[in-house]
Amino acid sequence: MIDSLEFRTSVNRRASTFKIATGSSDTEENVMVKVVSGDHFGVGSANPSDVTHETRESIEAFLAKAQKKLVGTEEDDPDKLHTRLDSIADGNTAAKAAVDIAIFDLLSKRDGKPLHEFLGGDRKKMLTDMTIGIESKEVTVQKAMRHYKAGFRALKIKVGLDLGEDVKRVAAVRDTVGPKVELRVDANQGYTVEQAIRFCQEMNTLGVVLVEQPVKAEDLAGLKKVTLASDVPIMADESVKSVLDARKVAREGIADMLNIKLMKCAGVNNAVTINKFAEAADMLTMVGCMGEIQLSIAAGLHFALSSENVRFADLDSHFNIVDDPTSGLRFEDGYLIAPEGPGLGIRTPFG
């Protein structure tokens, strides 16, 4: 039974301002949750963003309601947990993710296993990319070199504001880091369908492995056109926020791949379901993130390690947070390594 649920918000500085096609930010807010059941406790966190239409205030308000709804209920069935969370309100997926992650941390701790093993996986590490926001060509190249020197062997370049400049920036990064570094590109809905098709032709010649969300989230017909026209696999991100969205995209061949983020899909439980759908439809997935601290990044990593179908990891936001209140992840030779202890294996201010 859930004995208590508490939460506290952490506001943290970003090492540098992050600019993408839809906006920019200097700080990150993450709301951390602790759930206690008997002798065990689990922790999770939520990061608000425009993508899920959540704010720090909306997350705190939702968690205050979740406290009343969940204390005294059973903790051992994630499906039932989500039914209870959904009965509070629709949406609020990051807030729900924080509770979901805390419950999975608790259940896997109680089982004495790292979360990825609890979920049935046996991998130990994932190559992660580092994302470069929209910058001048010169700054983009400098950052690519800095990340390469720091050990990253995959880079994700944000594009979508100026097609001509974007192509030049990606080409310059390819020149800088050489052919072995895996390049991924994310337009965050910035292009028209025609621009996206042209852009993908250019990306194909540069050996880019995937192009993420080239057109508007709602324009599924446009996204499908780009997918059909492009030789580079197209990944849906903002177009897929739920299990139902994933099912539609998979059934109708709207994209080649899916970007699964715990903040979008309300946590680990739905991430596992979406990934199973994708796998059945022959679609590889990526685990992505918002502006998250190590606590929820670890949950994304454990989820990714649970299935071979999660081929890509874009788990990099914590590298840019100067004063992360949570810790425990290791990064070596481009790989994020899961902590070996039970649960998430992450230290938090909750102890």
Q: Catalytic residues, which ones?
A: 158, 261
Please state the closest distance from residue 314 (CB atom) to Mg ion, in A.
8
Give the separation between CA 271 and CA 258, rounded to whole angstroms: 11
Nearest to Mg ion of 307, 317 (CB atom): 317
Choose, by CB under 5 A, the member of 29, 212, 219, 245 that binds Mg ion: 212
Cβ 269 to Mg ion shortest distance, Å: 22
Q: How far is the CB of 112 from Mg ion (least distance, A)?
A: 35
Indicate whether 292 belongs to the interface with Mg ion (CB under 5 A). no
| Interface residue with Mg ion, options 28, 237, 256, 316 (CB under 5 A) | 237
Q: Binding Mg ion by CB under 5 A: which of 54, 100, 117, 186? A: 186
- Smaller CB distance to Mg ion: residue 114 or 133? 133
Q: With respect to Mg ion, which residue has the nearer C-beta, 100 or 212? A: 212
Which helix (H) or strand (E) segment holds residue 176: the answer is helix 163-177
Query: Which backbone phi and psi does 3 adopt, to 5 degrees?
Result: -85, -35
- Rounded CA-CA distance 332/334 in Å is 5
Piece of the chain touching Mg ion by CB under 5 A; list 84-92, 143-151, 232-240, 264-272: 232-240
The residue among 21 and 85 lying less far from Mg ion, judged by its C-beta, is: 21
> CA–CA separation, 240 vs 147, rounded Å?
29
Verify binding: residue 129, Mg ion, rule CB under 5 A. no
Positive or negative: CA dihedral 349, 93, 210, 138: negative
Does position 316 interact with Mg ion (CB under 5 A)? The reply is no
Longest alpha-carbon distance in the chain: 59
Check binding of 202 to Mg ion (CB under 5 A).
no
The CB-nearest residue to Mg ion is: 237
- Specify the amino acid at residue 151: G
- Least gap, CB of 48 to Mg ion (angstroms): 16
Site size toward Mg ion, by CB under 5 A? 3
Q: Is the Cβ–Cβ distance between 284 and 311 less than 8 Å?
A: yes
What's the token pair of residue 197?
A: 């098709």
Sequence-distant (≥ 6) Cβ neighbours of residue 287 within 8 angstroms: 126, 259, 260, 261, 262, 271, 300, 301, 303, 304, 310, 312, 313, 314, 315
Q: Which residues bind Mg ion (CB under 5 A)?
A: 186, 212, 237
